[in-house]
Amino acid sequence: MGGLFGAVSTGDCVTDVYFGTDYHSHLGTSKGGLAFWTEEGFNRSIHNIENTQFRARFEDELAGIKSSMGIGCISDREPQPLTVYSHLGRYAIATVGRINNADSLVKKSFQTPNIHFMEINKGRFNQTELVSVIIDGQETFKDGLLAVQESVEGSCSVLLLTPQGIYACRDKLGRTPLIIGKKEVKGTDGTVTLSHCVTFESCTLTNLDYKTVYELGPGEIVLLTKEGIEKIAPPRDKMRICAFLWVYYGYPSSTYEGMNVEMMRYKNGAALSRRDDAEVDMVAGIPDSGVAHAIGYSNESKIPYSRPFVKYTPTWARSFTPQSKELRSLVARMKLMPIPELIMGKRLLFCDDSIVRGTQMRETVNLLYRCYAKEVHIRSACPPILFNCKYLNFSDSRSESDLATRRSIKRLEGRDLEDPAEYGNPCNEKYCAMVKDIGRELNFTSLRYQNVDDMLDAIGIGAENICTYCWTGKE
């Protein structure tokens, strides 16, 4: 996924950008970067954060920087922000999203003489650099950002730092959020420092003393300056924000489109419980993103909530999609520490945010049985994932055949199906057969999934505004 943060202030903004960017560390594990506009020009730094915390990488570099404008980025893949010197002027740029037609856009850009791209590795290029080339093909930053929205297939939200301010451009279908915060700080001498920030995660605002003042609509573009917020392009009518922001990706204290992540998960877990009839001794959540769903389930069912697992985080990194399969499995196994006294002889029900490939869940369940659990029931807080994400890399696999659902369908059908949509209907016998098969394959006592309608009701912003492609295959 990835996250963005930027700030403009009449005073110094370095600390705000540093901590604001760090508060997006749960959204990516590959690269972290900061860029500030100073009297000498851009001061930019990018580090690998795969094996260390963002703060540890950047803390020593900030002491000598004074700046009133800056942006930061946590990225799954490419290093950013990038700094650019073009006919539009000097700027730094960071993006979040996925460009599915990147190769064709690169070929199109070569129609302009003397265009080139820096190769990252094995023929890969930086998607953020591609966005900058599209922008530079226009006469203004506004036209350039609009051109990005029109040309990109997938999704792309952008922060663009110029000497005049920060352009914030939300993806044209609003698949990811961008939120504006404001604060005023009165000094001992009576002067007032005015600051505005733009952030992916609203949870960054409170501890930095910002108040939410505005959430960009889909495709909307604004310019943050020391004077305030300037509207550059209006929001579009249609939105398709990613449902996984609430189910999994989003931090519990964040709110998007008026719905808080933690509250949605409570509602979602409660809805799971109302459709369930499991007879168990306790309800638990797979740490961390399954916990709130489990609390909602427990509160609704009146079955006690407990913690048969605790998560050991001091030395073990998060298991996250971009890591190798081997490392992901190792981390998943090592970071969860069982409490045998809460497991032995017990009938356990665990809520998790989702089941993608199922490998980690099988290892977790086998560990529970080795601690002499009597039964292990699994409840997924979202429906069965039948399609790889096309927009934000949530369920990104080398092949859709890696998905637990697709492997099950192949076992049941004896072949791969081009369109498995009928397996997504909970009223269909094939759906029931698939769920039973997955549960058996992963060694669960029982398995149930949330259905799409209940999940959308828990989000509560209107089904027409939410992307459900991973479950339905509908654009």
Ordered by where they begin, the domains of the chain are: 3-239 (3.60.20.10), 264-464 (3.40.50.2020)
Rounded mean pLDDT, 324-338: 70
CA 232 to chain centre: 26
Structure tokens, 316: 């073990």
452 contacts 417 by C-beta, under 8 angstroms: no
CB-neighbour burial class of residue 435 (10 A; exposed 0-12, middle 13-18, buried 19+)? buried
State residue 335's pLDDT score.
79
pLDDT digits (tens, 9 = 90+) for 243-293: 999 999 999 999 999 999 999 999 999 999 999 999 999 999 998 889 999
- For tokens 């999203």, the residue is 97
pLDDT digits (tens, 9 = 90+) for 131-174: 999 999 999 999 999 999 999 999 999 999 999 999 999 999 99
pLDDT band at 17 (very low <50, low <70, confident <90, very high): very high
Structure tokens, 250: 């989003």
Please state which of the ranges 83-87, 118-122, 230-234, 388-392 shows the lowest mean pLDDT.
Answer: 118-122
β-sheet bridge partners, residue 9: 195
State residue 324's pLDDT score.
60
pLDDT band at 322 (very low <50, low <70, confident <90, very high): very low
Cα-based distances in Å from 270 to 118, 242, 257, 451, 455:
50, 21, 21, 13, 10
71 contacts 159 by C-beta, under 8 angstroms: yes
Cα-based distances in Å from 318 to 26, 30, 80:
8, 12, 21
Q: For the whole model, what pTM was predicted?
A: 0.92
Please state which of the ranges 116-120, 163-167, 223-227, 354-358 shows the lowest mean pLDDT.
Answer: 116-120
pLDDT band at 330 (very low <50, low <70, confident <90, very high): low
Specify the amino acid at residue 86.
S
| Cα–Cα distance measured from residue 62 to residue 78, given in angstroms and rounded to the nearest whole number | 22
Nearest Cα to Cα of residue 363 among 336, 343, 395:
336
State residue 54's pLDDT score.
86
364 contacts 392 by C-beta, under 8 angstroms: no
Rounded mean pLDDT, 324-340: 73
Rounded mean pLDDT, 21-49: 92
